[in-house]
Structure 1
Amino acid sequence: MNKTILGLDKKETEYLALNLNGLLANFQIYYQNLRGLHWNIKGKNFFELHVKFEEFYTDSQIKIDEIAERILTLQGTPLHTFSDYIKEASVPVGNNISNDVEGVELVVNSLSELLKIERVILGLSDEASDEGTNSMMSDFIAEQEKTIWMLNAWLGK
């Protein structure tokens, strides 16, 4: 039998878990970027952005756990080392960013990269009839699209 305990195709779920691990790695880099932005932001928008970056990294921490647990649900093993995250991630790394505009642009670019990955996973999960992963990706995508819109409005775009 080529089905998992969830009734999904084993090969498809293995491929989904692999792609979810890529998303996990990217979220970990995104999370670390947000921590750095929260700590290092300076200027007239400090109070507003310090709180906003904390809101974003708290949300990311929850999503990281959800992604890892979904990988486990699909009988995969979540990545858990920084060396794996760095090797797998495509999200841009922010280093010592203290400028408000540069920080917000990093968040927008990171979310745009996450959306690309999530849309691939959404298609794969749809093909595999994996409603659990599909629902998670749909929720992530809708929320991140709105966040990009709001951050672009903040940027005046």
Structure 2
Amino acid sequence: MQDLTVTGLEKKSNQELATKLNELLANYHIYYQNVRGFHWNIKGSNFFQLHAKFEELYTNALTRIDEIAERILTLGYTPLHSFSEFIGNSSIKETHNLTSDRETVGTTIENITLLIKLEREILKLADESGDEGTEDLLSTDLNENEKTLWMLNAFLNG
């Protein structure tokens, strides 16, 4: 019993999952800030459509951030909670002064692609450790991110 957590998972795999979830949390924070900035600063003929879409994306990201942080706590660890930690642990980079439809949507596609890659890595770890809670949390998000990716690609290539 000493090698199990209160959720019944092995401590070693639990720690690996928490570390990867913190990485996902950091990436989601930078992604959130990027799309929030796109919402504020988008210009051009697609302003109304993208202004609304970016608001939808950052609102969803904010919900995901909370869910990921709470999952980390459920696993018995502390979620990252400072901007310096988010920047230092994120593969997604901050954007600056992007205002056109093509560059904001293109960057959002790149960001979501990184989120999907990380989610798949975590899903594999969760499956190997028998962590159905993390699997459930991420499989729903993965499906939403894949659909959003398809839609954004359709926008750019339409």
The TM-score range, normalised by the shorter chain, is over 0.9
* Aligned position for 1:86: 87
SS of 1:67 mapped into structure 2: helix
The 8 Å contact of residues 30 and 90 in structure 2, kept in 1 or not, is answered as: yes
> Which segments of structure 1 move beyond 2 Å, counting only runs of 4 or more?
none
Q: How many residues align?
A: 157
Report whether the alignment pairs 1:63 with 2:68: no
The 8 Å contact of residues 87 and 93 in structure 2, kept in 1 or not, is answered as: no
SS of 2:144 mapped into structure 1: helix
CA RMSD of aligned residues (A): 0.8
Percent identical pairs in the alignment equals 54
**Residues in 2 aligned to 1:51 and 1:5: alpha-carbon distance in whole angstroms:** 42
Deviation at 1:131, TM superposition (A): 0.1
Deviation at 1:93, TM superposition (A): 2.2
**Residues in 2 aligned to 1:6 and 1:41: alpha-carbon distance in whole angstroms:** 44
Unaligned runs of 5+ in 1: none
* Aligned position for 1:29: 30
Deviation at 1:6, TM superposition (A): 0.9
**Residues in 1 aligned to 2:73 and 2:16: alpha-carbon distance in whole angstroms:** 13
Q: Deviations over 1:54-81 (max 9, x none)?
A: 0000000000000000000000100000
Unaligned runs of 5+ in 2: none
Q: Deviations over 1:90-149 (max 9, x none)?
A: 013221110011100111100000011111100000001000001111111111111111
Report whether the alignment pairs 1:47 with 2:48: yes
* Aligned position for 1:124: 125
**Residues in 2 aligned to 1:50 and 1:106: alpha-carbon distance in whole angstroms:** 15
